[in-house]
Structure 1
Amino acid sequence: MKKRAAVALILVGSFALTACQSSSSDPSVRAHNAEFGCMAGTVGGAIVGGLIGSTIGGGTGRLIGAAVGLGGGGYIGNRLACG
């Protein structure tokens, strides 16, 4: 149950971070916000993927699952946030 709560908390935090971005007509502000969103998506995806991957298997399998989840989650988060 603790893992589900942690995953839910991370998902809510990730969505909250993306809501903090402001829409501005200044191109430098927009570029900064896009860069922040891209990084937040990559890191958030890696964290969530690692947590989900660590629930698979046991012992060494859990470590391998976490590593694969980190890579896969980071990649998916990057693709979703960076377009």
Structure 2
Amino acid sequence: MKSPLILGAMVLVASACANQTPEQQHEVACISGSFMGAVLGGAAGSLIGGGVGRDVAIAAGSVAGGYAGQRYSCG
């Protein structure tokens, strides 16, 4: 279920970059890197624990993944 959603988001980002200046492409890359990092971090966090601990792990994974994605994609 998650794979088609992620694939769709990647196609949307790729098509949005088609007719943009390099500065706009960089900004889209930064935003999409942050978004994808947060999604993947949240998914990884959902594999940990249960109950409230799982909710905390999802939130922490999303924040950490968003930060890592932003750092990676924005340079």
Q: Structure 1 vs Structure 2: percent identity of aligned residues?
A: 37
User: Could you say what the CA RMSD is over the residues aligned between the two structures, in angstroms?
Assistant: 2.1
- Count residues with an aligned counterpart: 74
Give the number of the structure whose alpha-carbon radius of gyration is greater.
Answer: 1
Q: Structure 2: which 5+ runs fail to align?
A: none
Confirm whether residue 49 of structure 1 aligns to residue 14 of structure 2.
Answer: no
- 27, 52, 55: which one pairs with 1:63? 55
Alpha-carbon distance in structure 2 between the residues aligned to 1:42 and 1:18? 13
What TM-score does the superposition give when structure 2 sets the normalisation length? 0.78
Q: 1:14 to 1:81 in 2, by over 3 A?
A: farther
Q: Structure 1: which 5+ runs fail to align?
A: none
What TM-score does the superposition give when structure 1 sets the normalisation length? 0.71
